[in-house]
């Protein structure tokens, strides 16, 4: 493969990002809901290696933010006392994976100092923690919706391609219908017909279902094409001659041909659906506060003063871009692998 | 039946399908526009019931659908509960604004993408092609939402461009030319967002399809005959590459429409996006359906324009009796 190092790099980036988001409770220094009312819109804490006397320290350290008197959300570093950054530090208790009780966090600083890698929001909540926790929601939504889409596409595509005739005709008309819809308009319309004020868990599954159901058409059409070409191959026809059932033929001889296209589609759909969730939450139709998701974190930027004054509120966008970039590289890699192997 | 007639009928059938789909989702949903009123102690349940029957919400789906179709045929496109007027009058202005934005963005995007795609295809594997590839990859992974926010940030920080809306305060008092300039300056950010968001995919597809043609035997034969440069490009390569590109044009219009919804909301462009969002939150069913129908209509119309263009451009496409 031509671009092997780049693809390996993308894979590592993607895996570590997913791991960090999955283990958010351990990786983040603070609870995403804890408010620091003394530090609204504090900028990202600066990590220092050189102290005020010019000594270089191997262990990075931070200063505490101190509100500048008579200003509005402006801060200076309190240079009189430094706090070293400690790894595997004791912090608030959390339950890792719902089982393991633990006090250990990947990094942090001792009280009373605080470390805000990506600044804080209007309530003084640590953005870095919120981004990782929000990633759990956004990524899970993207992944689950992809699974739904691919499953629906696979079922419809297989049946339509395998049985043909009127089933095929009507299924493909339906596919055309879904393909021609401008998806965001339709998504918004469907969402508008569903209840607005329900619990976060319900909202999440509702969102996932709606996003996943709308995108089944393209995978269905692609799978159908592959099933069509696969079922006319000689060994498939031969297996019919040996008395194989429809189910056996589909599972044994036809389905394996679709794996490649499913994998490519998955890599393309995941970032698309993550963006879909983010978009809906951004517009106020998805998950709402206090549950963090990348969409409602970015929604802070809808306020004019936040957009203008606090650049670190763009941090969730960076996470979003990295996820998209990683998955697109994966899609390219899978495509290249396929075209190389066939 | 000739080709165009069949396409039109197909499009109308698709629109009908979309409307049925919207209504089906609408009836599955619990609650309606008047639910909020039930919470208000000053409005008696009888009043709410009367309102619901006045607007026909209490009737079964097929009947409601029938009444909606009737009102579409009358040219009203249903009735907005929130605005208390026919949907058509609401939609016309908004759709016009959306159309202005998306048409401009489509034109610009293609005007920029075509030379870029052709250029990078011609320079395959060299440094400028690689640069283009890296650029499109990067741009491809930045969602419209982020592009719009970043552009808005830049505009606000530099004070170079207005940060939202369609016209400035006091627009009516300006002269014709000043009005045009004002409108154009408001168009820059939403249009630039849409262009940037749709550019990478366009460049890639154009590059791929031009590349395929460049390697075709007939192009080599043309080269061997001493045909080169602009003549080769415009007479031989581009017409042959037009076929996949015309379906791409249709698709890009759809993408732009979806993208414009979000961009309109962020930049405050008074198109169909903000209208749809408001109607969604208020459960103003007919407005929602009207907006979806209008956007689907634009999309179908766009792909039809693309197909007609193809017939003009590509001599291999013949409209026979098939």
pLDDT, tens only, A264-298: 888 888 998 998 888 888 888 777 777 888 888 88
Q: What is the mean pLDDT of residues A65-91?
A: 78
According to the model, what pLDDT value does residue A263 have?
86
- Per-domain residue ranges of chain B: 100-270
Chain B residue nearest residue A284, CA to CA: B281
According to the model, what pLDDT value does residue A196 have?
63
Q: Residue B33: CA atoms inside 13 Å, Cβ hemisphere, count?
A: 24
Number of H helices, E strands in chain B: 13, 2
Q: Is B138 on the interface with A (CB under 8 A)?
A: yes
Q: What is the mean pLDDT of residues B210-233?
A: 84
Q: Residue A127: CA atoms inside 13 Å, Cβ hemisphere, count?
A: 29
User: Which residues on neighbouring strands pair with residue A126, listed in sequence order?
Assistant: A120
B161-195 pLDDT per residue, tens: 776 777 776 666 777 787 788 888 888 888 899 99
First to last CA, chain A: 14
- Model confidence pTM above 0.90: no
Asked if the Cβ–Cβ distance from A193 to B261 is below 8 Å, we say no
Question: Which residues of chain A are within 8 Å of residue B258 when distances are taken between CB atoms?
Answer: 182-185
Eight-state DSSP code of residue A46: P
pLDDT > 70: what percent of chain A?
95
Tokens 């004070």 found at: B159
Q: Is B300 on the interface with A (CB under 8 A)?
A: yes
A59: part of which helix (H) or strand (E)? strand A56-67
According to the model, what pLDDT value does residue B128 have?
84
Between CA A283 and CA A301 the distance in angstroms is 11
For chain A, the average pLDDT equals 81
- Alpha carbon of A240: minimum distance to chain B alpha carbons (Å): 35
Between CA A265 and CA B226 the distance in angstroms is 44
Question: Which residues of chain A are within 8 Å of residue B300 when distances are taken between CB atoms?
Answer: 180
A87: part of which helix (H) or strand (E)? strand A86-96
Between CA A168 and CA B316 the distance in angstroms is 30
Interface test with B, best of A176, A188, A217, A285 (most B CBs within 10 A): A188
- Alpha carbon of A114: minimum distance to chain B alpha carbons (Å): 28
- Quickly state the pLDDT bin for B60 (edges 50, 70, 90): confident
According to the model, what pLDDT value does residue A151 have?
92
Most confident stretch, A43-57, A98-112, A132-146, A202-216: A132-146
The answer, yes or no, to whether residue B77 has pLDDT greater than 90, is no
Q: What is the mean pLDDT of residues A155-165?
A: 85
Question: Which residues of chain A are within 8 Å of residue B137 when distances are taken between CB atoms?
Answer: 325, 328-329
Question: Which residues of chain A are within 8 Å of residue B145 when distances are taken between CB atoms?
Answer: 275, 278-279, 282, 298, 317
- Asked whether A116 and A47 are in contact (CB, 8 A), the reply is no
Q: Residue B58, SS3? A: coil
| Domains observed in chain A | 48-122 (no CATH), 130-339 (1.10.3720.10)
The answer, yes or no, to whether residue A54 has pLDDT greater than 50, is yes
Q: Is A191 on the interface with B (CB under 8 A)?
A: yes
Please state which of the four CATH numbers 1.10.3720.10, 3.90.25.10, 3.40.50.300, 1.10.10.60 is assigned to the domain occupying B100-270: 1.10.3720.10
Between CA B207 and CA B120 the distance in angstroms is 6
According to the model, what pLDDT value does residue B26 have?
66
A-facing residues of B in 224-263 (CB < 8 A) are 254, 257-259, 261-262
User: Which residues on neighbouring strands pair with residue A62, listed in sequence order?
Assistant: A83
Q: What is the mean pLDDT of residues B258-276?
A: 85
Q: Is B99 on the interface with A (CB under 8 A)?
A: no
Between CA A330 and CA A268 the distance in angstroms is 9
């Amino acid at each position: 493969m031509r671009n092997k190092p780049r693809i390996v790099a993308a894979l590592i980036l993607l895996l570590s990002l997913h791991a960090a988001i999955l283990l958010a409770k351990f990786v983040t220094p603070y609870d995403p809901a804890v408010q620091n009312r003394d530090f609204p819109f504090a900028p990202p804490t600066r990590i220092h290696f050189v102290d005020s006397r010019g000594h270089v320290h191997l262990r990075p350290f931070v200063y505490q933010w101190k509100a500048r008197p008579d200003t509005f959300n402006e801060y200076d570093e309190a240079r009189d006392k430094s706090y070293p950054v400690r790894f595997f530090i004791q912090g608030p208790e959390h339950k890792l994976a719902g089982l393991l009780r633990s006090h250990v966090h990947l990094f942090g600083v001792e009280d009373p100092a605080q470390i805000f890698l990506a600044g804080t929001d209007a309530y003084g909540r640590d953005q870095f923690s919120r981004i990782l926790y929000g990633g759990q929601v956004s990524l899970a939504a993207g992944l689950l919706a992809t699974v739904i889409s691919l499953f629906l596409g696979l079922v419809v595509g297989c049946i339509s391609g395998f049985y043909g005739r009127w089933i095929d005709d009507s299924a493909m008309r339906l596919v055309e219908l879904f393909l021609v819809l401008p998806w965001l308009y339709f998504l918004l319309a469907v969402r508008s017909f569903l209840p607005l004020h329900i619990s976060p868990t319900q909202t999440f599954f509702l969102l996932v279902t709606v996003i996943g159901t709308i995108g089944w058409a393209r995978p269905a059409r692609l799978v159908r094409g592959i099933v069509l070409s696969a079922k006319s191959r000689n060994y498939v026809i031969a297996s019919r001659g040996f008395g194989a059932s429809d189910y056996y033929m589909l599972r044994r001889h036809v389905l394996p041909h679709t794996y490649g296209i499913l994998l490519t589609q998955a890599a393309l759909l995941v970032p698309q659906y993550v963006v879909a969730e983010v978009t809906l939450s951004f517009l106020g139709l998805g998950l709402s506060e206090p549950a963090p998701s990348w969409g409602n974190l970015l929604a802070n930027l809808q306020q004019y003063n936040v957009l203008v004054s606090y650049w670190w509120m763009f941090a969730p966008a960076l996470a979003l871009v990295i996820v998209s970039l990683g998955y697109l590289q994966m899609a390219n890699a899978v495509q290249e692998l396929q075209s190389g192997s066939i | 039946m000739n080709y165009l007639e069949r396409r039109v009928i197909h499009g109308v059938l698709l629109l009908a399908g979309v409307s049925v789909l919207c209504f089906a989702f609408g009836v599955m949903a619990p609650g309606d526009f008047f639910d909020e009123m039930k919470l208000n102690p000053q409005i008696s349940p009888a009043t709410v019931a009367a309102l619901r029957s006045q607007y026909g919400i209490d009737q079964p789906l097929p009947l409601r659908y029938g009444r909606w179709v009737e009102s579409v045929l009358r040219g009203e496109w249903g009735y907005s509960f929130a605005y208390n007027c026919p949907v058509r009058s609401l939609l016309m202005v908004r759709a016009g604004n959306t159309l202005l934005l998306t048409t401009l963005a489509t034109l610009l995007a293609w005007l920029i993408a075509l030379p870029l795609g052709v250029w990078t295809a011609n320079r395959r594997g060299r440094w400028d092609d690689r640069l283009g590839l890296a650029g499109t990859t990067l741009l491809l992974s930045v969602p419209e939402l982020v592009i719009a926010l970043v552009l808005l940030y830049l505009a606000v920080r530099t004070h170079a461009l207005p940060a939202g809306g369609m016209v400035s305060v006091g627009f009516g008092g300006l002269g014709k030319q000043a009005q045009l300039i004002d409108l154009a300056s408001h168009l820059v950010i939403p249009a630039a967002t849409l262009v940037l968001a749709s550019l990478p995919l366009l460049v890639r597809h154009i590059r791929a399809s031009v590349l395929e043609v460049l390697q075709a035997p007939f192009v080599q034969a043309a080269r061997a005959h001493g045909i080169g440069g602009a003549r080769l490009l415009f007479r031989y390569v581009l017409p042959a590459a037009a076929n996949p590109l015309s379906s791409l044009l249709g698709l890009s219009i759809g993408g732009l429409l979806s993208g414009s919804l979000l961009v309109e909301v962020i930049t405050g462009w008074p198109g169909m996006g903000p209208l749809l969002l408001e109607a969604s939150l208020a459960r103003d069913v007919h407005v929602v359906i009207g907006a979806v129908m209008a956007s689907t209509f634009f999309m179908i119309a766009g792909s039809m324009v693309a197909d007609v263009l193809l017939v003009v451009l590509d001599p291999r496409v013949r409209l026979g009796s098939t």
